[in-house]
Chains A and B, each alone.
Chain A
Amino acid sequence: MSFSLTLGVLLLLSAAGYWVGRSRAANLVARGSGRLHSLPSYHGFYVALWAGIPAFVLLLAWGVAGDRIVEALVLAGLPDAQTATLTNSERALLLAQIRNEAAGIGFGTPEPFVAAAAERLVELRSFSAWIVSAALIAGALAALAWALRRLAPDLRTRNGVERTLRLAMALCSALAILTTLGIVLSLIFEALRFFARYSPLDFLFGLQWSPQTAIREDQVGSSGAFGALPVVWGTLFISLIAMLVAVPVGLMSAVYLAEYATPRVRSWVKPVLEILAGIPTVVYGFFAILTIAPLVREAGVTLGLSVAANSALAAGLVMGLMLIPFVSSLSDDVINAVPQSLRDGAAGLGATRSETVRQVVLPAALPGIVGAVLLALSRAIGETMIVVMAAGLAANLTVNPFEAVTTVTVQIVSNLTGDTEFDSAKTLSAFALGLLLFCVTLCLNVIALGIVKRYREIYD
């Protein structure tokens, strides 16, 4: 019996448990055995949960571990002569061969003992599936019956159901936390492997970034230096240019939307800004390459400057454009949260609209706006696609916006893509960069959220 069929039966059992439990509870009242502690539907849920959840959890466990158990059984059943001398990887190879044979995608004519094992695997699989399904369904039925027997007017089923729901929700949020933890751990693990080869101090403070390592002795320019400073500088430089665009424009448009625009204008502009926020960053990348970069180059040439094809300016400008809706929509929320009474107070004293905005509304909203800007900054630092397309690959420690710089995210992408061995320093350096990036954005987010939270406390 297949996994999904068993699952279906369990669901049906559960649903049936709900109806039976509910009507049983309703009968209890009708027979006059006192008031119920909980509503009949809670009794229904109680039975349904007992019938469904334990069996479901066991089914999941079998789904995860079942195949391993069966395969271990098959391997154990092989003649000793075949398995005694095998190393671990040979054993895995053999198992794969048996598996393929069982699935009918074997290669050539198998040795007889492999064919036998494959047959045994197929048999065991279907047999175990039947046994497990039958056992689970029987167990579920038993649990259902047990829960039904327990139903009584004073059974606190509501509390039980509430507890179960709370547990379910806690598990879901635990999943998010565990995922985060897993990501961080895997980053740290790989980064540690990198730091085993390259000193962390040299990584953090080195001025030279050229991740190509020599394959042959006589290659040039293949020192394999991993000083992250130029790369980090590139990220900061492009982010700075982006913020110079996004913060003033985003803030002004937020003020306009919140304080000046009529509802009609607002109902048009706000969705357009949100569309701007929804454009995939790849598309911004195209825009940077096809439109902004040539413009920057022309502007530079008119000024008599030499401009790199992938100038920091072009990438920064486009990233700034991308962040405008982000800044403006967050600031708009913050500005709207400033109580109307403050505006009235200023207006009542004879302040003009712009005086009110500059002297009362913006100062009151400032902490929230700072939070919004920091969040935008952490997005700029982590932004990948635009810089992959529009920024350069060469690590330059420069303050000239017309030169090309590279960023942390670009280096991660370029070091991880293409044909590289997985444990070369070049590949591993991507993880160290990722860890660095993660730490920086994490700090920024924590600071930003802290500021936003403190701001909320003042006005709520």
Chain B
Amino acid sequence: MFKEEYALMQTASPAPNTPATATAPMADVKMSARQVRVHYGDNEALHGIDVDIRRNEVLALIGPSGCGKSTFLRCLNRMNDSIEGCRVSGSVTLDGVDVYDPALDVVQIRARVGMVFQKPNPFPKSIYDNVCYGPRIHGLTRNRTELDEVVETSLRRAGLWEEVKDRLAAPGTGLSGGQQQRLCIARAIAVSPEVILMDEPCSALDPIATAHIEELIDELRRNYTIVIVTHNMQQAARVSRRTAFFHLGNLVETGDTETIFTNPGDQRTQDYITGRFG
């Protein structure tokens, strides 16, 4: 019965990713988490997560509210560092290098692993300054021409260029919600990250803006590795190649999106996907 549903979910979307045929070779792993546990004070929010994120694939994280999806996402670029009382144990590697190595600079990690948040959060600066903020602080460009180029390519990639090219000096906060979110995506890709983390990037947007962003994610997949948290099953089905299902701080199962949606291995996954709880 899931087969038809899955087919239905796919209709309004870009072409589905071809399912992985066999287990990917090790070289394809971009990031991997091993036994990741997260404590907020005395409360353990994640109980040992193991997952591999493969190069140039879209991994969707789904699961009921409060199960730890955002927490896990924030582990991947150490955004948990600044949260009071939050401790992370286990290992997270990026291209085989431990992200939590004290010798490593968190600034570099975040330049390589970018993030897009649930609520669009453009800086109260011009559209241009929003996009060039990252390149500026990392010194990625040598002169104004290069900077202009980076801003234009990033905005083009984010599908926003045509709408804002005549008002780059206008404040970013003056855009519509969907435009703001695409601006935030442009801001993230302007740093040329290798991985982009997205935490419910469409939850504040209407269906049309959502469709925009989904197309964009499909586009970005070619150059970036993407991890996306979503509450929208159809969205997970449309944009992701693999899906990980979280429940109460555990990773229940990970697999090809089609498999998870049509033939889940765990009763909890099946219950969640068919909407029996959530």
Contact = CB atoms under 8 A, between A and B. Distances in A.
Contacts of A347: 79, 82, 110
B77 interface: yes
Interface in B117-144: 117, 119, 121-125, 133-134, 137-138
A127 to B, nearest CB: 74
B138 A350 contact: yes
B92 interface: no
Contact of A344 (B121, B125, B138): B121
Nearest to B173: A458
Interface stretch (B18-26, B55-63, B184-192, B240-248): B184-192
Contacts of A263: 84
B115 A348 contact: yes
A349 B124 contact: no
Contacts of B138: 350
B215 to A, nearest CB: 23
A348 B137 contact: no
A363 B108 CA distance: 25
B114 interface: yes
Interface in A275-331: none
Contact of B134 (A262, A339, A349, A352): A349
Contacts of B188: 348-349
A346 interface: yes
B172 to A, nearest CB: 11
Q: Bin the interface of chain A by size.
A: 20 to 34
Contacts, number: 66
Given A263-B84, A344-B79, A355-B137, A349 B121 contact: no
A347 B111 CA distance: 10
B187 A349 contact: yes
Interface in A253-269: 262-263
A349 B133 contact: yes
A345 B107 contact: no
Contact of B117 (A345, A350, A363): A345
12 contacts: A341-B117, A344-B115, A345-B122, A345-B123, A345-B187, A347-B110, A349-B111, A349-B191, A350-B106, A350-B107, A350-B110, A359-B133
Interface of A: 262-263, 339, 341-342, 344-352, 355, 359-360, 363-364, 458
The 5 closest A-B pairs by CB, nearest first: A348-B115, A350-B110, A341-B121, A350-B111, A349-B134
